[in-house]
Amino acid sequence: MGNAKKRSGSVASMLPVLLACSFTASFGQSMMNVALPELAERFGVTLSIANWVIVGYMVVAATAIMLSAFMLRRLGLRRVFFVGAGALALGSACALLSQDFPMLFASRLVQAVGTGLFFPSVTSVIMTNSPAAVRGTRLALNSGVIAVGLAISPTASGFALTQFGWRAMFVVSLAMSVALLAVGFFRIHGGPSTKRVPIDALSVMLGPLGLAAFLYGLGEVTRDLAPSLAALAVGAVLLALFAWRQFALESPLLDLHPLVHPRFAVGILLVMVGMLTSFSMSILLPLCYEGALGYTAFFAGLLLLGPVLVNAAFTFLGGRVFDRHGAWPLIPAGLVLVLVGQATAFFSAESMIAILIVLSSAAVYAGAGFVVAPSKTAALGTLPPATYSAGASINSTAVQIASAIGSSLFVGVLSADVLRDTAAGAAKASAYAAAFEHTLSIAVVIAAAGLLVAFFYARAMRKPAGKQR
């Protein structure tokens, strides 16, 4: 009992810095969302290629997430913190000095290491060391802080991009990373374990290579079918080999054994649906505002700010409701909100009335706030405490994969539609509006499938705790 109180107090003292880690990581993750049209024009690449500063970021972040449990056991929280914050600072500095697209792309990959280490590490520390009575609230607070970072980043980056050029975006992220390093030096503690944990080099290669191949195929599937299907097949095979190897190894890179708990697996699936929905909107909306309406990156970021802040508020509210009432009817209600918002945006796409798009996107983000954090807490709550760290790593990996899938799929479809329609003589604004409508139709199908799963999952979670596994 005394040790539990001590651990809880330790987390409480570090919580502001841990939340700052999540904020800085999420800021870096979404800072390029408003910059894709500018980067495509500046470096002479397609939107689909420019989008790899986001997709590549997700692939590396997912890989770092897989490594996070190993690094926490081997190095301890304090050293992992310095590696993560250092990667964010170094990547920002290199991006600031980039002279071409390959260097910018490589710099983003370095940044992604910090995001990939921070997200699961913070979740694992909170989940492992927080009393059950406040666990959901703290996890929801962490998710809300991430949502605020995702909200503020496009606006701040859009302002820097519009006023000073694309390099200025990285001045902000560099300053935040350096400040985080300075504060964390005094506040973050937690030494390394004395246990020597092996790492499987083949898994480190199979995971990111399979994910990159799969995402490339997904992003190009509407442009060049045969090579895309080949890339999808190669990616799927490599990912299947990766998963098989994780179950076979005594010390896997990413411990997938929590997935044998059906309620954990379905909960993570719902987390992915919620993240795919919200993150893809965070990329599609700036493209819509800039391409179809001709707004600046700064104004596009401002229009995104309100809806994403709604997501932050509903994420925190969802955590409080979950602590009191559980998953039912919270998670299905969230997906109903998502569908209402998506349907409204779909029928508003042709007219492109900005206020309707903003309001409908706010409904989507509100619904996602009721889905992601509660689904994560419900999923992790079905696991034995000894597997919380592995479950947190799976959750964080799934979030990055879902975000990358949404980004690759929707930007790939939108980019191909815009190129095809403009080549056929359509005006740029009309091409973007039609492409936005097309991507929304796909998103509606995904959310509807998620609602069906959520309905039965949340009803099942109403059963007594002893019957949940």
Same domain for 396 and 317, yes or no, is yes
Identify the burial level of 440 via C-beta atoms within 10 angstroms of its C-beta, where 0-12 means exposed, 13-18 middle and 19 or more buried: buried
Same domain for 324 and 270, yes or no, is yes
Same domain for 426 and 296, yes or no, is yes
Same domain for 267 and 141, yes or no, is no
Rg for the chain, CA atoms, rounded: 21
Q: What's 347's DSSP letter? A: H
Task: Tell me the residue range of the domain where 354 lies.
Answer: 256-468
Indicate the residue type of 32: M
Number of domains in the chain: 3
Which residues lie below 8 Å from residue 257, measured CB to CB, with a gap of 6+? 247, 387, 390
Same domain for 365 and 431, yes or no, is yes
Describe the crossing of helices 330-348 and 297-325 by its angle, rounded to 10 degrees: 160
Query: How far apart are the C-alpha atoms of 129 and 160, rounded to whole Å?
Result: 39
Same domain for 231 and 270, yes or no, is no
Same domain for 184 and 265, yes or no, is no
Which of 197, 215, 233 delimits the end of a domain? 197
Query: How far apart are the C-alpha atoms of 319 and 242, rounded to whole Å?
Result: 33
The CATH number of whichever domain residue 113 belongs to comes to 1.20.1250.20
pLDDT of residue 197: 67
Q: Tell the residue number behind the tokens 């390959």, with chain if given.
A: 102
CA angle (295 as vertex; 291, 298 as ends), nearest 5:
120
Query: How far apart are the C-alpha atoms of 391 and 384, rounded to whole Å?
Result: 10
Indicate the residue type of 466: G
Q: Tell the residue number behind the tokens 């770092």, with chain if given.
A: 64
User: Which residue would you say has higher pLDDT here, 346 or 174?
Assistant: 174
User: Which residue would you say has higher pLDDT here, 280 or 18?
Assistant: 18
Same domain for 355 and 241, yes or no, is no
Q: Which of 191, 247, 193, 207 is nearest to 79 (CA)?
A: 191
Mean pLDDT, range 84-108, rounded to an integer: 93
Same domain for 92 and 215, yes or no, is no
Note the Cα 15 to chain centre separation in Å: 21
**Alpha helix ranges (H) inside 188-224:** 201-220
pLDDT of residue 10: 66
Q: Which of 89, 98, 81 is nearest to 19 (CA)?
A: 81
**Alpha helix ranges (H) inside 188-329:** 201-220, 225-248, 262-292, 297-325
pLDDT band (50, 70, 90) for residue 179:
very high
CA distances from 209 to 108, 126, 332 (A): 17, 31, 35
pLDDT of residue 193: 57
Question: Would you say residue 455 has pLDDT above 60?
Answer: yes
- Tens-place pLDDT, residues 330-384: 788 899 999 998 888 888 777 778 888 889 889 998 998 888 888 888 888 888 8
Length of the chain in terms of residues written: 469
Whether the full predicted model's pTM is greater than 0.85, yes or no, is no
Same domain for 187 and 81, yes or no, is yes
The token duo for 90 is 């170094």
Same domain for 218 and 311, yes or no, is no
Nearest 10 degrees: Cα torsion 407, 440, 378, 464:
-160
- Tens-place pLDDT, residues 207-262: 888 888 888 888 777 677 778 888 889 989 999 999 999 888 887 888 888 888 88
Same domain for 22 and 165, yes or no, is yes
Bin 463: left if φ > 0, else alpha if -120 < ψ < 50, else beta. Answer: beta
Question: Would you say residue 284 has pLDDT above 60?
Answer: yes
Question: Would you say residue 152 has pLDDT above 80?
Answer: yes
**Over the chain, what is the mean pLDDT?**
83
